[in-house]
Structure 1
Amino acid sequence: MSDEQTTAFHRIKIRVAALIFDGDDVALIRRTNDRGVDHYSLPRGNVEPNEWL
């Protein structure tokens, strides 16, 4: 593997997300940006080195 290819892999982050249901309800995270607009996303986070998925 070349140095350029090795460097590219250092920028890759593994992330996980979850769909959480409670009957017909779904858990979402609400974030409001600096313009006051709400955005919704799944609960998620980064996977740290040596951490189980």
Structure 2
Amino acid sequence: MKVYWTPGAMRRLTEIETYIAERGSPEIARNEAARLIRRTLTLEQPPLIGKRLTQ
């Protein structure tokens, strides 16, 4: 599966990053944005995550 970020999702991520940067630290904001992107990319490899079901 391929994960695509829509323009709206990217805009929202930028809003979240800006919010964190204004209230905390730009470095923390960048780290959180990168973490969110990394987490969504794990969706591209579903067989490698989760628990194996017995049949």
TM-score if structure 2 supplies the norm length? 0.29
Which structure has the larger Rg? 1
More strand by share: 1
TM-score by length of 1: 0.29
